[in-house]
Amino acid sequence: MQHSVNTVFDKIISGDIPVEPVFENDDVLAFNDMNPQAPVHVLVIPKKRSSRFSELSSKPVEETGRFFAAVSAAASSLGLDSPGYRIVVNNGSDGGQEVEYLHAHILGGRQLKWPPG
């Protein structure tokens, strides 16, 4: 059953909010974060909606695999394989998730610190 929520990322997928894709395939759309935390800060969202990472354990594993393969391909296409990068998926309130539509952050272009805040 389709969720009734209509987040900003639902509107990006439906085309109601236009974005400039930096990477796209059958499974995902990737675009620059509007509030970048690193020189490269790209969001990758699945075309088939999930609300959260924690939902993935009940989804077909093939779907999850294609999502993460696409995140990897997007990072490669951005030239980040050699210098390195970080993938972040915030989940729920303690995780700092603001948009209830599954998304992976690709962060790169500078030395990232650990641990995160």
| Helix extents (H) in 8-87 | 8-14, 61-77
Kindly provide the residue ranges of all beta strands, DSSP E only, lying in the chain, ordered along the sequence: 21-24, 28-32, 40-46, 85-88, 104-108
Shortest distance, position 11 Cβ to ligand 5GP, whole Å: 8
Binding residues (CB under 6 A) for ligand 5GP: these are 8, 31-35, 43, 90, 96-99
**Sheet of 85-88: strands edge to edge?**
21-24, 28-32, 40-46, 104-108, 85-88
Q: Is 3 a catalytic residue?
A: no
CA distance 109 to 92: 27
Catalytic hit among 3, 41, 103, 105: 103
Nearer to ligand 5GP, 99 or 112 (CB): 99
Nearer to ligand 5GP, 11 or 59 (CB): 11
Shortest distance, position 99 Cβ to ligand 5GP, whole Å: 4
Shortest distance, position 97 Cβ to ligand 5GP, whole Å: 4
The residues annotated with a catalytic role in the active site are: 103
